[in-house]
Amino acid sequence: MTDINCESILIADMALRDGEESPLGRQEIETHLRNCERCRLEIESLRTVDELLSSQQRLRQEPNIWPLVSARLEASAGGAPPFSWRVVLLFGIPLFGYKALLLILQAAPSLWSKLIPMILVIAVFGYLKANPFKINSELTLRGESS
Amino acid sequence: MDDAVAIKRCQAGERDAFRFLVERYQAEAVGHAFAILTNREDALDAVQEAFLDAYHTLGRFDTSRQFYPWFYTILRNRCFKLVRRRKNAGLSLDDVSILAPVSEIPAEDRLALERALLELSSAEREIVTLKHLDGLSYEEIAERLEIPKGTVMSRLFNARKHLREKLALRKVHR
């Protein structure tokens, strides 16, 4: 028995029927089908569905989109620029953070002495882009192949 | 006028050239949107929004590429956004029709297939219709859906299997 499973046989057969490059050759497929009744039945029923589908055509729609698209383009050309959340987030979050920090520090001035070292440490780590205390779990032993 | 000329004229700011593209591809686009959304109003909304998106991004379009496959990726993004946002509550399947009547096929078989297609997920219906109704190759489907060819094979296989199951159920209950 080969290590080819039934699903890969069915997919390869489908690709061949569709006139596409198949991951398996016709010979391999036929050898498997000779010994696998389940696949033979499966392929037969899938072929019936394919035949039914292949004789169909898409229902042609006849819309007229242009007047709507044109009106929207006119409106967007003359009107205000579209609202962008990105701009709000870009300016809003730093401003909110700054204001919140000021309020916290006014309420508890002693926080300055704790916050400044923390900010300095974060800035240094950000600059180095690596945490010097991080344990390197990807170390390999000498002589060990990767 | 061909697509490349129309696109260059759009990029130069001529809106009439965009009209050419809209009128050339609107029928195909609505058909594709409809196959994903199964709702005419939603399909028209998605196509309209996709054309607007395309107009605003045409400046970055590489004119050596074909317009419609590029536009299709914009359209399907719009469609799947709608799929996530809206549920087809109260949708009557009698109003939905993807397949054209073909004289050689009995109407009963076509209707059974139509209903089975509508019971598939949007993504499954999309891949089956691209393959069988548009006759696209795996390579073309992979380009449209922005997925590898191997994924096209497995998705198409699963979609066909589900379709067969839905059709078998319909025959059992008939």
pLDDT band at A131 (very low <50, low <70, confident <90, very high): low
**Phi and psi (nearest 5°) for B98?**
-100, -35
B residues 77-96 lying closer than 8 A (beta carbon) to A? none
Q: Say whether B31 and A58 touch across the interface (CB within 8 A).
A: yes
Which residues is B84 bridged to in the sheet? Answer: none
Residue among B52, B129, B153 minimizing CB distance to A11: B153
Does the pLDDT at position A139 exceed 60?
Answer: no
What integer best gives the mean pLDDT of chain A? Answer: 81
Q: What is the pLDDT of residue A1?
A: 41
Query: Testing the interface with A: which of B40, B127, B164 to mutate, by most A Cβ within 10 A?
Result: B164
Candidates B28, B160, B70, B1; CA nearest to A14 is: B160
**Which whole number is the average pLDDT over B63-74?**
92
**B158 CB within 8 Å of a chain A CB:** no
Structure confidence by residue, pLDDT tens digits, A17-47: 999 988 888 999 999 999 999 999 999 999 9
Residue A91 has pLDDT above 50, yes or no: yes
Work out the burial of residue B43: count CB atoms within 10 Å of its CB; fewer than 13 is exposed, 13-18 middle, 19 or more buried: buried
Mean pLDDT of all residues belonging to chain B:
87
Q: What are the angstrom distances between the C-alpha of A28 and each of A6, A10, A36, A59, B172?
A: 12, 12, 12, 39, 35
Please give the pLDDT value at position B36: 92
In which region does residue B38 sit, left (phi positive, over 0), alpha (psi from -120 to 50) or beta (all else)? left
CA distance B158 to B170: 18
Helices (H) and strands (E) counted in chain A, each on its own, are: 6, 1
For chain B, say whether A62 makes contact (Cβ under 8 Å): yes
Query: Residue A82 gets which letter from DSSP?
Result: P
A69/B55 CB distance under 8 A: yes
ipTM: 0.77
Could you report the per-residue pLDDT of B104-135, keeping only the tens digit for each?
778 888 888 888 999 999 999 999 999 999 99
To the nearest 10°, report the CA torsion of A115, A116, A119, A120. Answer: -150
pLDDT (0 to 100) of residue B101? 80
- pLDDT value at A146 more than 50: no
Global pTM value: 0.71
* Gap between the Cα atoms of B136 and A5, Å rounded: 28
Question: What ranges make up the beta strands (E) of B24-145?
Answer: 99-100
| Chosen from B10, B22, B154 to mutate, greatest number of chain A CBs within 10 A | B22
Amino acid identity at A122: I
